[in-house]
Amino acid sequence: MHTPVLSSWPSGGGVVLALLLSAVTGTAADPIQEVGETASEWVKTRAETVRVETDWARNRSLLTGTIGALKERGERLQEQRDHLLASTAEQRAEQAELASRLERSRENLRTTEDRLQALTARVLQLRPALPPRLSDALDLSYRSLAGGEASPSERMQLVMTVLNRCAQFNLAITHGDETLTLPGESGPKSVEVIYWGLSHGYALDRVAGKAWLGTAATGAWSWQALEGAAPAVTRLMAIRRDEADPRIVTAPALLKATAR
């Protein structure tokens, strides 16, 4: 607060000075008030600081204990991990070995599957060259192979069935009646047929006195007429049926040269 100042200025000038002093007094900051406000803020700040320090001091022991417990738990877990790693080392090694064997088995299976597919294709290509009697006997196996729905194990069994039947047929002389479509004939007819393994065969029409030679020289089994060979083929048939004594019979044949 300011003390009024008296002046010896004339009355008119005194009034002006009084008004100026009054205006300055109304706008200037009060130092005592500022100090009071600052002190009040400091008290609040100090009270907040004390509260925070008190909370920290109260919770410090709890946090310290929690940290210790967490460290102890971590050490126990690490010990358990080390123990499990040591106790399961053998099992993990066996598991890795089994995984390696499994991968090798899968690779071998893929290789076997590729080989089986190639073998299946070759067996399918073999059918046109088979004697008609054998081809008809293997019809179900060939249709299953050509269908592509069989599993690898089933296809392997089918392939082995075809190959075994071909091997058996090739080691025997097969004789019997058969219905064939022959060159020079109007349609299928029943004839007597004899096969020398897979190499060749003879068909005989006793009534017409005609004979045919069957071979797979061109990669597919085919029949061709044998002029004048019916008597020789008839003797072959009689010997096969035990109706004649065994003897050498000369009959036409077509041999395919093999590469050396």
SS3 state at 201: strand
CA-based R_g, the chain, Å? 57
DSSP 6: -
Dihedral (CA of 246, 251, 256, 260) sign: positive
- Nearest CA among 109, 209, 215, 198 for reference residue 162: 198
The pLDDT, as a whole number, for residue 219 is 83
pLDDT of res. 126: 93
Determine which helix (DSSP H) or strand (DSSP E) holds 213, and give its type and residue range. strand 210-215
Question: From CA 191, how far away is CA 211, in angstroms rounded?
Answer: 9
CA dist 168 → 162, 163, 174, 197, 222 (Å):
10, 9, 10, 8, 21
Structure tokens that stand for 216 in this block: 């797979």
Q: Which pLDDT does position 244 carry in this prediction? A: 84
- Cα separation, 20 vs 9, in Å, equals 14
Per-residue confidence (pLDDT) for residue 29, from 0 to 100: 57
pTM, to two decimals: 0.58
Quick one: pLDDT at residue 255? 63
Alpha-carbon gap, residue 88 to 92, rounded angstroms: 6
Query: Where do the structural domains in the chain lie, given as residue ranges?
Result: 173-240
Over the chain (260 residues), the average pLDDT of each successive run of 10 is 42 45 50 77 82 78 79 85 82 86 87 89 94 94 89 91 95 93 91 93 93 89 92 91 85 60
Distance CA 11, CA 5 (A): 14
What is the maximum alpha-carbon separation in the chain? 180
d(C-alpha 144, C-alpha 54), whole Å = 89
3 state DSSP class of 5: coil
C-alpha closest to that of 130 among 186, 59, 80, 201: 201
Q: What is residue 113's predicted lDDT score, i.e. its pLDDT? A: 86
Q: What is the pLDDT of residue 256?
A: 60
- Euclidean distance between CA atoms 57 and 228, whole angstroms: 127
